[in-house]
Structure 1
Amino acid sequence: MAKIAPQLPIEVDSETGIWTSDALPMLYVPRHFFVNNHMGIEEVLGAEAYAEILYKAGYKSAWHWCEKEAECHGLEGVAVFEHYMKRLSQRGWGLFKIQDIDLDKGTCSVKLEHSAFVYVYGKVGRKVDYMFTGWFAGAMDQILAARGSKIRTVAEQVYGGSEEGHEDGLFIVKPL
């Protein structure tokens, strides 16, 4: 396995220490730190309740990210979604691969390989990538709204790499 330098632009403000990629401030934390916090919250709230909270927060964050990145890079339509999947992959969450996308129908499917969550959780017989689910609908809805479409979507994880019989995850987005 070849190692490569990060493929996304990173700037650090010398006065504040704030990291920025493209147009947005970022945090750089070890995977174990993030996932251990995630697991701790899940343990208290339960996976289902935590997934609901993360869906809403992730939806809002993805909308904001796509709006800012589209503006920063002059992107629109499918190019925004492709850029989002590329940046998520470059930031270490896993490798997000668009299987299909149709903005006119408000649908897409995304395969997730090498999930950061699956690396820590392992095979636990349930989906552990639920933090990502709202991201797909939030991104899709921002892109649709920017095109003037009234379609709004919902995302769901079909299966995950943490479940027996699967090495990767699959997410789908469909109209409400």
Structure 2
Amino acid sequence: MQPQLPIDVDQETGVWTTDALPMLYVPRHFFTNNHVAVEEALGREAYAAILYKAGYKSAYHWCDKEAEKHGIAGMAVFEHYLKRLSQRGWGLFDIVESDPQSAMARVHLSHSSFVLAQPGKHGKLCYMFAGWFAGALDWVNDTAPDSTKKGPRSHSVETQCAAEGCEHCVFEVSPLASK
């Protein structure tokens, strides 16, 4: 994997863009410290629900913009999404299995930024990513050219985390109705 990303900086505004989307560039510890502070203030369950909705919406939007920009469609967009997340330092993401028509996928995450930034902390630390995968898979289904190939709405959950002593984090995407 080539870690280089196309980063453009507008000389007049200072806005950074990658693939025509405005970006923010912050140190991992800064983001994680803010994440943990909000989790502590709101409680993990409430914060996770907020992040899920926001992450879902953001992933869906990102997939739509990237598909248009790069002229790609279907699972190629989902794969591109995980490649870009990996290139941006969140960790290394891999689709282990996928069946969009069934709204199912399994994503492995190695070297999660949340695990690396919180050594010694145990539990499922990477729940923030869950909504991202459901949003991306729903985008794949919503944009399928053949309506008979569209799957049901999906839901995603972190089923294991490297912070629990596992080799990597695992996210399971499944049909929303089976949640």
* TM-score of the superposed pair, with normalisation by structure 1: 0.93
**Equivalent residue number for residue 65 of structure 1:** 62
Distance 1:131 1:39 in 2: 11
Query: Displacement, 1:123?
Result: 3.8
8 A contact 1:156–1:172 mirrored in 2: yes
Query: Displacement, 1:152?
Result: 0.7
**Equivalent residue number for residue 159 of structure 1:** 160
Query: Displacement, 1:93?
Result: 0.2
Deviation per CA, 1:113-143: give whole Å up to 9, x if none: 0000001122433101011010000000011
8 A contact 2:8–2:17 mirrored in 1: yes
Query: Displacement, 1:78?
Result: 0.8
Distance 1:54 1:31 in 2: 18
**Equivalent residue number for residue 101 of structure 2:** 104
Find runs of 4+ consecutive structure 1 residues off by over 2 angstroms.
Answer: 122-125
1:162 counterpart SS class: helix
Deviation per CA, 1:89-115: give whole Å up to 9, x if none: 000000001101112211110000000
Tell me how many residue pairs correspond in the alignment: 172
Distance 1:162 1:150 in 2: 32
2:138 is matched with which residue: 131, 138, 141?
A: 141
**Equivalent residue number for residue 129 of structure 2:** 132
Distance 2:3 2:160 in 1: 29
Flag structure 1 segments of 5+ consecutive residues without an equivalent.
none
1:38 is matched with which residue: 35, 38, 47?
A: 35
* Equivalent residue runs for 1:65-104 within 5 Å: 65-104=62-101
Distance 1:113 1:5 in 2: 17
Flag structure 2 segments of 5+ consecutive residues without an equivalent.
none
Distance 1:10 1:120 in 2: 24
Distance 1:7 1:144 in 2: 29
The structure with more helix, counted as a fraction of residues: 2
1:28 counterpart SS class: coil
1:21 is matched with which residue: 18, 21, 28?
A: 18
Distance 2:134 2:94 in 1: 15
Distance 1:27 1:125 in 2: 28
1:59 counterpart SS class: helix
**Equivalent residue number for residue 122 of structure 1:** 119
Distance 2:2 2:105 in 1: 30
Find out whether 1:169 has 2:166 as its counterpart: no
8 A contact 2:100–2:151 mirrored in 1: no
